[in-house]
């Protein structure tokens, strides 16, 4: 296939309601993906927990397997296949299990021939064949990562994969994961139902762009030394260690190919060029993503959603309650992808209060409301965000990004409401507040939000 990107623009009926669900990426893995080895039994238990907590009824639709499921080899007929040791019953059996829970199964693949972790099979060179396999398995959501991609512009190769999915005979929600490079927010909506607008979300509050690039430059592209990997994760098998050594060699070879093709290779890129590349601030922490989404959230369209990446809600000690509540508030306000990448089993009361908050989820699931946007920044750095809902309500977030307590204040006219709202609902306190003619004010702790729904 050699299609122009514009030829793949489509509405397959799946892009109106933003994706809500669960991802395997950080479950039982504080490193989020480094040793991610999802299994059939793990997915069964996660699905069971979601049903027990009535998550499908709240709108949770997708159960998504990230870079953890595929074999490192294709089958005898050249088809992509799962790792039999992890999924002995196969993907169709797993899909049936998810279907019985009234949810839908999603799978990860890659634009290149191998995935970003452990040399699993990617779709490079097999877009049509893999799309037909996914359709045969009755998959409902496909994410395509960007590792080892073809030597052509991203709209071309992602457009070709999008076209392959379109002609497969089954409507699948397509998420392209291009890491926010090449201004994906200007073209992603014509190719996919959702498109990643930045790099991976790490389970931390702040991880600025320059620090992120230093890490990628040193570990992703040079390769994490196997000795360091073994020391950090002594339980890894000899096979996994050998796969990482092969990955390191592949990264070096990839850099050479990139330079030969006239594109910037990771190892040959200077620190100055990295600084220029991420001048827009594509950091990886929650606060960094909030700042980036203030610029690109409006790229969401009726059938294509800007994807801020997974929600890392209360992952161990790394994302505490206040940070996680703020994360969830913004992911709901933007109306993009909301895939919870932490464990649904054995959730604490605090975590449950976040991910089972029906009022916040209702904001996220509004199919026709435009994405939330930042309206103002006060002198004390408190931010005012708002989203105009389809029923004429306005959802508001007042956000304290600082490290000290701050007073957050707004007037109703700041979000387009004349006079006093008919009702003011606090979506985290689950309480109706008495509307005040003067507006609203509250003291917020560091990183905290107030999330309100105002009725006209």
Decide: 104 and 47 in contact? Cβ < 8 Å.
no
Query: From CA 168, how far away is CA 157, in angstroms rounded?
Result: 17
Q: What CA–CA distance (Å, rounded) separates 348 from 345?
A: 9
Give the active site residue among 29, 36, 83, 200. 200
Question: Does the annotation mark 145 as catalytic?
Answer: yes
Tokens describing residue 381: 């750095």
Strand 431-433 vs strand 423-426: parallel, antiparallel, or unpaired?
antiparallel
Phi–psi pair at 189, nearest 5 degrees: -70, -20
CA distance 315 to 20: 18
Q: For residues 266 and 215, give the distance between their C-alpha atoms in angstroms, rounded to a whole number.
A: 11
Catalytic one of 36, 66, 67, 145: 145
Sheet of 431-433, strands arranged across:
373-377, 383-388, 394-399, 449-455, 423-426, 431-433
Q: Concatenated DSSP letters for 57-113?
A: HHT--EEEE-TTSB-SS--TTS---B-TTT-TT-HHHHHHHHHHTT-EEEEEEESSS
The span from the CA of 65 to the CA of 148, in Å, is 20
Residue 109 in tokens: 């693949």
* CB hemisphere CA count around 239 (13 angstroms): 5
The pair of three-digit structure tokens given for residue 192, joined into one six-digit string? 């996919």
How far is 184 from 296, CA to CA, in rounded Å? 10
Rounded Cα–Cα distance for residues 180 and 355 (Å): 26
Residues designated catalytic = 145, 200
């Amino acid at each position: 296939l050699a299609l122009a990107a514009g030829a793949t623009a489509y509405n397959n009926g799946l892009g109106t309601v933003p994706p809500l669900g669960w991802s395997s990426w950080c479950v039982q893995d504080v490193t989020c993906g480094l040793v991610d080895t999802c299994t059939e039994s793990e997915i069964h238990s996660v699905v069971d927990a979601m049903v027990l907590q009535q998550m499908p009824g709240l709108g949770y639709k997708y159960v998504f397997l990230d870079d953890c499921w595929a074999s490192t080899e294709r089958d005898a007929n050249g088809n992509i296949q799962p790792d039999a040791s992890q999924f002995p019953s196969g993907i169709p059996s797993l899909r049936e299990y998810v279907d019985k829970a009234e949810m839908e199964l999603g799978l990860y693949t890659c634009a290149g021939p191998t995935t970003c972790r452990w040399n699993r099979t990617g779709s490079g060179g097999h877009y049509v064949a893999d799309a037909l396999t996914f359709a045969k398995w009755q998959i409902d959501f496909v994410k395509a990562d960007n590792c080892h991609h073809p030597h052509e512009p991203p709209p071309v190769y992602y457009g070709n994969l999008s076209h392959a999915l379109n002609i497969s005979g089954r409507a699948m929600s397509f998420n392209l994961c291009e890491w926010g490079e090449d201004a994906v927010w200007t073209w992603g909506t014509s190719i996919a139902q959702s498109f990643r607008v930045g790099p991976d979300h790490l389970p931390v509050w702040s991880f600025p762009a320059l620090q992120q690039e230093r890490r990628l430059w040193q570990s992703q592209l040079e390769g994490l030394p196997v000795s360091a990997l073994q020391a950090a994760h002594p339980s890894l098998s000899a096979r996994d260690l050998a796969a990482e050594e092969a990955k390191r060699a592949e990264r070096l070879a990839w850099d050479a190919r990139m330079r030969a093709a006239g594109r910037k290779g990771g190892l040959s890129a200077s620190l100055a060029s990295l600084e220029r590349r991420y001048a827009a601030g594509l950091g990886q922490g929650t606060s960094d993503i909030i700042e980036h989404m203030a610029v690109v959230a409006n790229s969401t369209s009726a059938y294509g959603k800007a994807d801020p990446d997974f929600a890392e809600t209360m992952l161990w000690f790394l994302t505490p309650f206040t940070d996680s509540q703020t994360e969830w508030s913004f992911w709901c306000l933007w109306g993009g992808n909301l895939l919870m990448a932490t464990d649904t089993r054995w959730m604490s009361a605090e975590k449950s209060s976040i991910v089972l908050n029906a009022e916040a989820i209702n904001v996220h699931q509004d199919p026709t409301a435009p994405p939330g946007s930042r309206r103002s920044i006060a002198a004390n750095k408190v931010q005012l965000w708002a989203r105009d809902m389809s029923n004429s309500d306005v959802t508001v977030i007042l956000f304290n990004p600082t490290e000290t307590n701050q007073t957050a204040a707004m007037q109703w006219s700041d979000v387009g409401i004349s006079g006093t709202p008919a009702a003011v609902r606090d979506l985290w306190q689950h309480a109706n507040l008495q509307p005040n003619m003067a507006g609203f004010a509250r003291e917020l702790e560091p990183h905290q939000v107030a999330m309100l729904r105002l009725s006209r």
